[in-house]
Structures are given as structure tokens and as C-alpha cells.
Amino acid sequence: MDRSRALELLRQVSSGALTPDEAVQRLAMAPFESLEFATVDHHRALRQGYPEVIYAEGKTPAQVVAIAERTLAHGGSALATRTDAATRQAMLARFPEAVANDVARTVRVGAVAPKAKGRGTILIVTAGTSDLPVAEEAAESALAMGNIVGRLNDVGVAGLHRLLANGGALQSASVVIVVAGMDGALPSVVGGLVACPVIAVPTSVGYGASLGGLAALFTMLNSCAAGVTVVNIDNGFGAAAAATRIVARDSAQP
């Protein structure tokens, strides 16, 4: 409810085009609209490719299906993360067109046309095969948000030649999400190789003093490559959301 819209509304009241009662109905929304700069933008952000995201952990299959039904009624697409097998089965039974990913533990429903013209590719890189579940959660989330996604797997720093042999893919990415557990060293190396934004995702992969991913997390926070940012342990969805915030800017510009 910016000044010009408010003035317009008041003029309609002044001219009799709107009764005070009709006007107050509109103003009733004003407290929200006065915050709308936030919520409108928030909604715009969501509409730029985020389906409603359902965090399935701790919810029954029936609950997830019910929320997805409601979400689809409004938005046309839905994404559930951290699902178990039963939930994925229930979702597929209800929405035969859904895409379930057992590694990522996600289900997507509703066709998401790639809106990513001009956005370039979000490249998701893993250090080892055991980082795949987190990487796949990032990939599925990024796809659900309308992005183009590339993958580069199992290129950890103990075998540098595998990474270096894929220089082309790294160079042509718009954003690189690097998923790594154990020593979490890969984002530092990638951050030194590319100029684009690098988002590091520590995983809880490892044993002994991996501390459930804290070791990798601290490695990444202390990255000697300037400008690497970090999200929470195993948070593939969060990395995808951060990457989308970045690439969405391009397509949003006139």
C-alpha cells in the first residue's frame, strides 16, 4: 500500500466511487501490505521457481500427501524432502506423475518448466560417492526451482586429476555447489579454480573424528580460497535455495 495507491483509494472514497466500508475492507489488508515489500518479494522469490517445500521428517505419509494436495491446488507443483520409502510410495500412488528420487529421498510433483533462461547451470560437485544423497537433494531441489543442473561426481582431492580433467564443466558453471564429507577439502580447491560463486555443503559422511560433519564444516569455514560460503551439514536443499537466489537475479534483470 504505497503512497500513490493509498492516495488513489482515498480519492475514490472522496469521489464516492468507493464507500467507506468498501475502502476499509481494502485497508484491512494494509497492515500486511505495509509489510508487503517483504512478503510480496518473498512471494516473488517463491514464485520464481520454488514449489512449496515439505520437510517430511517426522510427518506420516498421509500427512505429506495431504499437504502436497493442498500445495498443488494453489501452486501447481510440490517438493517433499527427507522422505522415507513409505512416503515416496504414498506420493507415487496418489500422484502417478510424481518423480521420486530414492537417493535424494525427495519427491517432486507437477511439471516445472526450466525458467532458467539466462541463468546458466548450477553445477553440483561431490568428493565421493557417499556424498551423493546430499548432492541429489540439492539437485532435485534446484530442478524443482526451475534451474538447469549439472553434476560432477567423485572428484575428491585425493585424486586431483579427476577434478582437473573436468575443467570445462567447472568453467562454464554459473554457481558451483561443492558437497564433501570427511576432510571437506574440495571446496577450497574448487574455489581456487573458478571465479563464480562457490557454495560448500559439508556432509555427515565419515567416521571417528568426523564429528557428524562438524570436521568438514569447520574446514569449509576456514577455506583458504576467498569467497567460499557454507550452508549447514547435509543441507542440500539450502544450498539449492542459495544458488537459486544467485542465478535468479540474472533472469530477473531487464
In the window 23-62, what residues touch a copy of itself (CB under 8 A)? Answer: 23-24, 27-28, 30-32, 34-35, 37-39, 41-42, 44-45, 48, 50, 53, 55, 57-58
Site for a copy of itself contains 146 (CB under 8 A): no
Ranges within 59-78 binding a copy of itself (CB under 8 A): none
The distance of closest approach from Cβ of residue 107 to a copy of itself in the complex, given in angstroms and rounded to an integer, is: 18
User: Residues 69, 86, 102, 192: which binds a copy of itself (CB under 8 A)?
Assistant: 192
Site for a copy of itself contains 191 (CB under 8 A): yes
Ranges within 193-232 binding a copy of itself (CB under 8 A): 193-199, 202, 204, 206-211, 213-232
Beta bridge partner(s), residue 54: 80
Beta bridge partner(s), residue 209: none
Cell (9 digits) for 225: 580460497
User: Residues 87, 106, 126, 244: which binds a copy of itself (CB under 8 A)?
Assistant: 244
Which DSSP helix (H) or strand (E) runs through 243?
helix 236-252
User: Residues 51, 61, 128, 146: which binds a copy of itself (CB under 8 A)?
Assistant: 128
The distance of closest approach from Cβ of residue 125 to a copy of itself in the complex, given in angstroms and rounded to an integer, is: 14
CA distances from 94 to 46, 85, 87, 88, 151 (A): 25, 14, 11, 10, 30
CA distances from 133 to 106, 126, 254 (A): 10, 10, 37
* x/- track of binding to a copy of itself for residues 74-113 (CB under 8 A): ----------------------------------------
Ranges of beta strands (E only) in the chain are: 52-55, 78-81, 99-101, 106-109, 121-126, 148-152, 173-180, 198-202, 228-230
Instruction: Identify which range of 70-78, 93-101, 104-112, 176-184 contacts a copy of itself by CB under 8 A.
Output: 176-184
**Unique residue bearing C-alpha cell 533462461:** 117
What's the rounded Cα separation, in Å, for the pair 240 and 217? 17
By C-beta, is 63 or 89 nearer to a copy of itself?
63
